[in-house]
Amino acid sequence: MLFNNTKQWFFILPLSAWISPTGLLITLCLVSGNVQAMWVGLSQAELVENSELIVKATYIGESSVSLSSNADAKTINFGVLKVSEVLKGDAVSVVLLRVPDSKSMLKRSDEIFFKPGQTGLWFLHRDKTYEGVYLADHPNRFSNKENTEKVRKLLKNQ
């Protein structure tokens, strides 16, 4: 990094430079550094309680759907899960997830991406915007660890 200590550069520019748009951009570049989203961990009990659907499944891919034929139509990305076992919720063989666009060049640090072939336990909750679609909007909502028995015990105690 060019400037290890940004405090030493703070007083070099006059006040008018800090107020101008260019000065503001320079200030943001010097001060912002590396910003990343941080997630608070969820316990297995919280996940089980707050999930409408818990499945053992494999993420098989995603597809984009345009909601209108207009040029400025809103595009939604759906991921598809191939379900091998349902632990909680309705019996399903396929689940639709609303996911961010993995092909986009710009990615935010609070977006969660899945890769085809990811297999494990999925702790899903319903998408309030689209009926029949689920969300895995926290890193703990997917687990590739074999903790199925632990989840079954938690479900029995509910």
pTM above 0.85? no
pLDDT at res. 71: 66
The domain ranges of the chain are 1-35, 44-156
pLDDT in tens, 120-158: 999 999 999 889 999 888 888 888 777 788 888 888 887
Instruction: Give residue 1's pLDDT band: very low, low, confident or very high (50, 70, 90).
Output: very low
Residue 67 has pLDDT above 80, yes or no: no
Question: Can you give the chain as a three-state secondary structure string?
Answer: CCCCCHHHHCCCCCHHHHHCHHHHHHHHHHHHCCCCCCCCCCCHHHHHHCCCEEEEEEEEEEEEEECCCCCCCCEEEEEEEEEEEEEECCCCCEEEEECCCCCCCCCCCCCCCCCCCCEEEEEEEECCCCCCEEECCCHHHEECCCCHHHHHHHHHCC
CATH 1.10.287.70 fits 44-156, yes or no: no
